[in-house]
Structure 1
Amino acid sequence: MFLQPESKEQNLSSDFDPVKKETFASAHEEYKELRQKCPVAYSEAYDGFWALFKYQDIVSVLKEPATFVTSVQNVVPKVSTTGRRPPLHLDPPEHTPYRRTLDPFFTDEKMSQIEPLVRETTVQLLQDYIDAGGGDICTNFSHHLPGYVFAKFFNLPTELSMEIREVTKLYVQALNKVDKPAIQQKSLELYDIARTIIQMRKDNPLDPTEDVTSAFLAKTYKGEPLPDELVLGTIRQLIVVGMIAPVVFIGSMSVHLAQNPKIQDQLRKDPSLIPAAIEEYLRLFTPYRGFARTPNKDVELGGRKIKQDEPIAVVFASANRDEEVFPNGDKFILNRPNIKDHIAFGMGPHQCPGAPLARLMLRITLKELLERTKNIELAGEVKMTPFPEWGPVSVPLKVEKV
């Protein structure tokens, strides 16, 4: 499938600039042009990397994990300097025991068990926000929601989960600035929190079928416990990954709702459409554009030669608007015939295991927000996150409660 390129050198220059300031629409306008004119692009930013913008190119890479690995670099820009964190930082088959331990916590049965707690938390946070007449939904709502939900999911004291939330916020700010000393400092703080969680479970073990940390401590592979440093890395990874995307994604949904009062009314009148709306929002406002793969040999993609060990960003946010796969890709269309083809959560061995919990949180948030309001409108400037995520970090709203 992937051709070995000739040894002929390429004179590379930047095809796009991932660090320029963006509006809510600008990145997708640029990605649409790149899909047409330069679908395999190179940027000199972040020490140089390739980016794939077409759906089929990205899917072809995701389907070849033996060639395009995550163990060298899993995100652009490269920021991981404090140890390996399974399962994302490992390739198959090394990552397999970690996924097999994690996946049972995201079954339909598990989601049904946690749903009442997620709903209770969401309603409480939302009602306070709505009673205040709105405000910045990212700062005042979506920033807090994952912390409370993760406290329940990880069986943690709320105070500890919110500490994770605050350290993660500073960690992400450092990532956005590519402030490597600050990134390392905050990452090490998160490792300390992970050690605390592990020690809590060693001192007071819980049922491994009901507690994620206990499951990893109890797991054996080929007759041996999982290595201590990799269990630590796993818990460090898990306490962070679900804290980032909900903030910007709920912000994106809120902007779209505010800009489209008819869609607000449609979903209020027929809440049965909300699951379909969530899938279309996931496609339209995919928050990931910096996940990376690294070829372990020279390859050719889209007529461009990519050398071994050169990082490649798989831009899911662009792939999910590719007009060749999703006609009228920039438009919100309920019940698209091929909506299940979107790759908002990735594909292959590294497809996001937490997707069921994310969908649950988002579905409840959208339903309860619309049910408790008559109208939602923008009340200020929308501010965007820089690479590697995509979406707003600030969305001031005015809401009229029921």
Structure 2
Amino acid sequence: MTDVKSEHDWDPRSEEVLEHPLAAFDQMRNQCPVAHSQYMGWSVFRHEDVLKVVEDHETFSNQASKHRSVPNGLDMPEHTPYRKLIEPFFSRARMAWFEPLCREVSAELVGKALNRREVDIIPELAENFALKIQCAFLGWPDSLQEPLRQWAHENHEATLAGDREAMGEIAQRFSRYIHELLENRREQGEGAPNDVTTEIMNSRINGEPISEEDIVSILRNWTVGEVGTIAASIGLLMKYLAEQPELQETLRREPDHIPEAVDEILRIHGPLLTNRRRATRAVTLGERAIGCEERVTVNWVSANRDEAVFPEPDRFRWGRDQSQNLLYGAGLHVCPGAPLARLELRVFIEELLAATGGFTPTPGRSPVGAHYPASGYQHLWLDFRA
């Protein structure tokens, strides 16, 4: 698994792990479930241990970065008012309002793939859907889609390389996009668009206006989480369904089962690999001694493949207990945007299956897997028939 120095248990940037992440995570979960690496600190692979980390907010802090990150990088009590600010944006009423636009975007993109062969669905469908839907929900102009795509790709490469200087520059570039959007809205005054971005900009925390830096942080974290995971999810779902024509047909006949199928497919191979925490005291986890201030990385994908919770984890099963599925996290920082993600994925798959007679992997074109910190695929070619 690793040829790194003996004080480390594995190398998450080794070719073996990058090329075959699921097999690597399965091996680590069974052989070294709490493992140390130079790149990630402590990695936690078992479902039980992941829950211990994310539900013990006093021992494992979300303030794991040198930079302020709102709200996911905050602990209680500071986290609470920001969470209360964000949650109403994902209410049932808001989702009902957004669904028609989500369906329109989905149908438009799916329509461009009909009766085509060798469609690389990652840039054409997965990324385009994630970018269009994010800009639509936040009220951002379409002209931001390509800069955001480039920004996401460069951020991924810098993170994989561990290039902190590049990561800092890329973060500043994104911040400039947001500052310009906010400044334009201020200049428009009462004529500013009545959208999510304007609502956040005009919101208050504990009776006080939100600082510019915190508004930018909220929108940056929201976009990073949304664009990357939704694009990865679309790719993972389409690959699985392309290889399972019987499941495709079942869901065409019975679309009410799509939400359960989405959760189960993404349990097998999830779109978000890890999240970080910081130990606030010395603690023992999985018989390993973790020191105060050491970094702890929970591996969501591995936890969702834990045989102790999900027997035959590679097998698609109807009726699994999806309450144990950590697709959207757990604990205080469980993803507030889960209702939006579920809506987007459900609607996209509904439109995809309704418009197509079938889609299959393109013969002779092998998919190109994404590398950490991304999940899913960089390229995935499919053939479509109406």
For 2:155 and 2:8, how far apart are their aligned partners in 1?
28
1:221 equivalenced with 2:209 (yes/no): no
For 1:312 and 1:108, how far apart are their aligned partners in 2?
34
For 1:322 and 1:278, how far apart are their aligned partners in 2?
18
**Shift in Å, 1:65:** 1.2
**Shift in Å, 1:161:** 4.0
For 2:17 and 2:283, how far apart are their aligned partners in 1?
34
For 1:236 and 1:396, how far apart are their aligned partners in 2?
30
Correspondences of 1:176-215 after superposition (within 5 Å): 176-204=160-188, 211-215=195-199
- Matching residue of 1:104: 88
- Matching residue of 2:352: 369
- Structure 2 residue identity aligned to 1:33: Q
Give the match's secondary structure for 1:204.
helix
Give the match's secondary structure for 1:172.
helix
**Shift in Å, 1:232:** 2.4
Is the 1:136–1:396 Cα contact (8 Å) retained in structure 2?
yes
- Matching residue of 2:277: 293
1:71-124, Cα deviation, whole Å (9 max, x unpaired): 123xxxxxxx6x423012221211222211111010111111000001101110
For 2:73 and 2:218, how far apart are their aligned partners in 1?
9
Provide closer, same or farther for how the CA distance between residues 349 and 209 of structure 1 changes in structure 2, counting only shifts above 3 A. Answer: farther
Is the 1:119–1:364 Cα contact (8 Å) retained in structure 2?
yes
Give the match's secondary structure for 1:313.
strand
**Shift in Å, 1:211:** 3.0
Is the 2:64–2:276 Cα contact (8 Å) retained in structure 1?
no
- Matching residue of 1:26: 20
1:272-297, Cα deviation, whole Å (9 max, x unpaired): 21111011123122122221111011
1:161-205, Cα deviation, whole Å (9 max, x unpaired): 443233223222332333333322221110001101211232235
**Shift in Å, 1:131:** 4.1
- Matching residue of 2:327: 344
1:164 equivalenced with 2:148 (yes/no): yes
Give the match's secondary structure for 1:143.
helix
Tell me the TM-score normalized by structure 2: 0.91
Give the match's secondary structure for 1:42.
strand
1:142 equivalenced with 2:126 (yes/no): yes
- Structure 1 residue identity aligned to 2:31: K
For 1:172 and 1:32, how far apart are their aligned partners in 2?
24
For 1:70 and 1:306, how far apart are their aligned partners in 2?
16
1:301-334, Cα deviation, whole Å (9 max, x unpaired): 0100011111111000011111111121111112
- Work out which of the residue numbers 39, 43, 50 in structure 1 matches 2:33: 39
Is the 2:186–2:192 Cα contact (8 Å) retained in structure 1?
no
Identity level (%): 30
- Matching residue of 1:95: 79
1:205-238, Cα deviation, whole Å (9 max, x unpaired): 5799963333333333333222332222222322
For 2:263 and 2:357, how far apart are their aligned partners in 1?
23
- Structure 2 residue identity aligned to 1:341: Q
Correspondences of 1:8-157 after superposition (within 5 Å): 13-21=7-15, 26-44=20-38, 46=39, 48-73=40-65, 83-157=67-141
Provide closer, same or farther for how the CA distance between residues 106 and 162 of structure 1 changes in structure 2, counting only shifts above 3 A. Answer: farther
Give the match's secondary structure for 1:51.
strand
For 1:209 and 1:192, how far apart are their aligned partners in 2?
20
Tell me the TM-score normalized by structure 1: 0.88
Structure 2 unaligned spans of 5+? none
Structure 1 range deviating more: 251-260 or 12-21: 12-21
Structure 1 range deviating more: 358-367 or 111-120: 358-367
Provide closer, same or farther for how the CA distance between residues 205 and 243 of structure 1 changes in structure 2, counting only shifts above 3 A. Answer: farther
Structure 1 range deviating more: 138-147 or 168-177: 168-177
- Matching residue of 2:366: 381
Is the 1:102–1:212 Cα contact (8 Å) retained in structure 2?
no
1:273 equivalenced with 2:257 (yes/no): yes
Structure 1 range deviating more: 229-238 or 184-193: 229-238
Aligned residues: 380
Provide closer, same or farther for how the CA distance between residues 314 and 187 of structure 1 changes in structure 2, counting only shifts above 3 A. Answer: same
For 1:88 and 1:325, how far apart are their aligned partners in 2?
27
For 2:64 and 2:29, how far apart are their aligned partners in 1?
26
Structure 1 unaligned spans of 5+? 1-10, 74-80
Provide closer, same or farther for how the CA distance between residues 13 and 113 of structure 1 changes in structure 2, counting only shifts above 3 A. Answer: same
Provide closer, same or farther for how the CA distance between residues 161 and 208 of structure 1 changes in structure 2, counting only shifts above 3 A. Answer: same
**Shift in Å, 1:371:** 2.0
> For the aligned residues, what is the CA RMSD?
2.3
- Matching residue of 1:247: 231
Is the 1:35–1:53 Cα contact (8 Å) retained in structure 2?
yes
- Matching residue of 1:78: none
